[in-house]
Amino acid sequence: MQLEAQAFIVFSLGMLVLMGIGMNMALALVLTGAGMAYVLGFWDTQLLAQNLVAGVDSFPLLAVPFFILAGELMNTGGISRRIIDMAQAWVGHIRGGLGFVAIGAAVLLSAMSGSALADAAAMSSILLPMMRKHGYPVAPSAGLIAAGSVIGPIIPPSMAFVIYGVTTNTSISALFVSGIVPGLIMGAALVVTWKLALRKMDIAGDPPVPMGERLRATGRAFWALLMPIIIIGGMKTGIFTPTEAAVVAAFYALTVSLFIHREMKVEEVHGVLVRAAKTTAVVMFLCAGAQVASYMITLADLPGTLSGWLGPLVEQPRVLMVVMMLVLVLIGTALDLTPTILIFAPVMLPIAVKAGIDPVYFGLMFVLNGAIGLITPPVGTVLNVVAGVGRLSLHQVIKGVNPFLLTYLLILVLFVIFPQIVTAPVAWMR
């Protein structure tokens, strides 16, 4: 048996076994990478250490800890709550209005935090108790919040796009632009799905809020609404790069939380920094571990092997996209978004480019597919967050998210059939 085939078996079986026993994903990547190095005859502890460092030694990756910090500051400093309050004031009186509030808040929060987990935690802690109090069925409510949260990696700024851009050397700014229209389409699709779900619910709307109160709620959310305008506008005009935009977002959230809203005390900053540091450590360790595995995958020429398997489809780009999306849907049931990007994006992108597929379009589709994986059982990280914060069983959240998961899969099919939905806005905004 060829060494490359042996290395592939070590990687695939090693990951399955280590994930099956519940090992940390980053450590599993390091161990499988080390196993591949041994099989290929490249065993060298110095080489492994160099790749671990190289996995995080990237200036654009500095955006990740700052976006994580911005999300923590938004939740602690009342920025997220003001967005939800504003949405409640405007659409809360409609039948099933709290569901529309969740969708609107998800779209707005996505334009600030860039993290599905941060948005899921914020909305679950604020909106789920409100929906329970107003008699909304628990499962559909939790499912809607989970589905809305995964818009976070699509609408800019997005940590997933930063990681994808660094991993594949794709323009992060172009990826950010590519996510605007698809993210809004996802929000609109959730509105339609929620309206259909309301047919089976006996829910009455709240009394309309006076116009004066709506305007006051909007005024209280002014500084929160200004945040995405500053971030996206600054990147679009070239005032700062995506990495610098993350720093601006964190600084802006800190300033608003401490000195304008004054809902966060100085002594609370330490706790926010610790929580952000812990989350950052998890993501960065994943990046480091994935670099070890990716380096060995390259040495084993697994991209070339995969290219040989998919070679007949290179002349049919749309069929190739369908096959790749199906593979990623299956991968998403077992892997989280970040390791999916780190492991498979460098392997699949060259094949897509060879077939003439636009790399930015492919990046959007890759991240969208991985984001959908966040609400796909059995792993579904966002499902676990909503279940944990809302004190629900995972079964309830999975049952409630299924209609929205189907909607997202249909959107994925739509973008495969009509790639212009993604590519045309990017070309126009460039």
The predicted pLDDT at position 255 comes to: 96
Per-residue pLDDT of the chain (430 residues; tens, 9 = 90+): 477 678 778 887 888 888 778 788 788 889 988 998 888 888 888 888 998 998 888 888 888 899 889 988 998 999 989 999 999 899 888 889 999 999 999 999 998 877 898 889 889 998 999 999 888 999 999 999 999 999 999 998 899 999 999 999 999 989 999 999 999 999 999 999 999 999 988 887 678 889 999 999 999 999 999 998 888 888 878 888 888 988 999 999 999 999 999 999 999 999 999 999 998 998 898 888 888 888 888 787 776 777 777 777 888 999 999 999 999 998 888 788 988 898 889 889 988 998 999 999 999 999 999 999 999 987 788 998 999 988 899 899 999 999 999 999 999 999 999 999 999 988 887 6
The predicted pLDDT at position 26 comes to: 84
Both tokens of 68, joined, read 């994580």
The predicted pLDDT at position 386 comes to: 94
CB 291, CB 346: distance < 8 Å? no
Let me know if 280 is exposed, middle or buried by CB neighbors in 10 A (0-12, 13-18, 19+): middle
Greatest C-alpha distance within the chain: 75
Q: Cα–chain-centroid distance for residue 367?
A: 7
CB 146, CB 375: distance < 8 Å? yes
Q: What is the rounded (10 degree) CA torsion for 293, 176, 335, 417?
A: -110
Both tokens of 367, joined, read 């991240």
- Distances in Å between the Cα of 327 and the Cα atoms of 158, 244, 344, 360, 409 are 23, 34, 10, 19, 13
The predicted pLDDT at position 352 comes to: 93
CB 143, CB 172: distance < 8 Å? no
Both tokens of 253, joined, read 């959230």
The predicted pLDDT at position 117 comes to: 87
Read off the pLDDT of residues 320-373 as tens digits, 9 standing for 90 and up.
999 999 999 988 887 889 888 988 898 899 889 989 999 999 999 999 999 999
Angstrom distance (rounded) from CA 88 to CA 104: 9
**Residue 328 CB contacts under 8 Å (≥ 6 apart), including other chains:** 340, 344, 366, 369, 370, 373
Peptide bond into 378 cis (omega under 30): yes
Buried b (16+ CB within 10 A) or exposed e, 92-109: bebebbbbbbbbbbbbbb
Measured CA angle at 149 (ends 146, 155), to 5 deg: 155
Angstrom distance (rounded) from CA 245 to CA 182: 21
Both tokens of 275, joined, read 């929580």
- Distances in Å between the Cα of 19 and the Cα atoms of 156, 322, 402, 421 are 31, 27, 25, 37
Helix (H) or strand (E) holding 106: helix 97-113
**Residue 278 CB contacts under 8 Å (≥ 6 apart), including other chains:** none
Sequence letter at residue 155:
I
Sequence letter at residue 353:
V
DSSP classification of residue 418: -
Give the residue among 368, 410, 399 at the shortest CA–CA distance from 142: 399
The predicted pLDDT at position 19 comes to: 75
CB 223, CB 256: distance < 8 Å? yes
Angstrom distance (rounded) from CA 316 to CA 355: 7
Q: Where are the alpha helices (DSSP H) in 155-208?
A: 159-168, 172-178, 180-198
Angstrom distance (rounded) from CA 38 to CA 75: 46
Phi, psi torsion values for 240, nearest 5 degrees: -145, 160
Angle between helices 3-20 and 302-310 (to 10 degrees): 100
